[in-house]
A and B are shown apart, each in its own frame.
Chain A
C-alpha cells in the first residue's frame, strides 16, 4: 500500500519560492495518485487569504495552483484554526475549501500520516 504523506506549508506566498515549491510537491504527488494531505500552518495560511494581487510584485498567481489541487487528486486540505485566528483570517473568506482544525485535531492529523514534510 502506498505511504501517505502530509505536506505542511508554513510560508507566506510572497516570501520567495518556498510556498510554490511546497505546493509543487503536493501537485507532483497528486499526479502519481499518492495519498497526500496538505496543511496550511503559521504563515502558510496567508496563501489562502482573499483578493491578493501577485501582479503588484510581478509574481505568478499562487491561487491558480491552489485551485488545481483537487484536480490533481489532492483533496485532503487543512488549515490551522489558531494560525488563521492569529492572523485575523476568517475561515469563510478563504480562497480554498479547507478543513479548519484546532491543535488537538492537528496532532491527530500528523499522527495519521506515514510521512511528513514541513516547509
Chain B
C-alpha cells in the first residue's frame, strides 16, 4: 500500500516519534511511502540546528537518516517553515538571514505537495499533537 505521511508536531512531541516509528514499520512491512510532508511546527524536525543531549532521542537526526537511507521524498512546507525560522541557504540569502538551517534531504515546497501526495497515496496518515 502507498502511504502519504504528514507530520504537524515539533521534534520533542511524542507524535513526531510516533510518526517515525509508523513510517519505519510501514517500510518494514513492504509498504511504500510516497512522501513525507512536514507542516506547522513539524518543520522544526527538518532543522539541522537541533542539538539533543547525548542520552536523549534525536528525532530530527532519525528522520534525516530514514529519508537518506530509504531515499524518501521529504518535503517541508515553505510558508510554515519561513514563519518558524527554518530556511535553506537560498531562502536565507533571499531574506538576508545569516545562515540557513535546512539542508538535503529536505526540500522546501508548497502545500500543493501535500495534496499531490494525498492524491497519489492509498492512505493519508497525519501525526500531530502530543
Interface residues of A (CB under 8 A from B): 2-3, 5, 17-18, 21, 24-25, 28-29, 31-32, 34, 115, 117-119
Contact = CB atoms under 8 A, between A and B. Distances in A.
B20 interface: no
B105 interface: no
A64 B74 CA distance: 32
A84 B118 CA distance: 30
B80 interface: yes
Given A3-B119, A21-B40, A117 B112 contact: no
Main secondary structure of the interface of A (DSSP, over half): mixed
Contacts of A117: 6, 124, 126
Contacts of B83: 17
A31 B114 CA distance: 13
B79 A3 contact: no
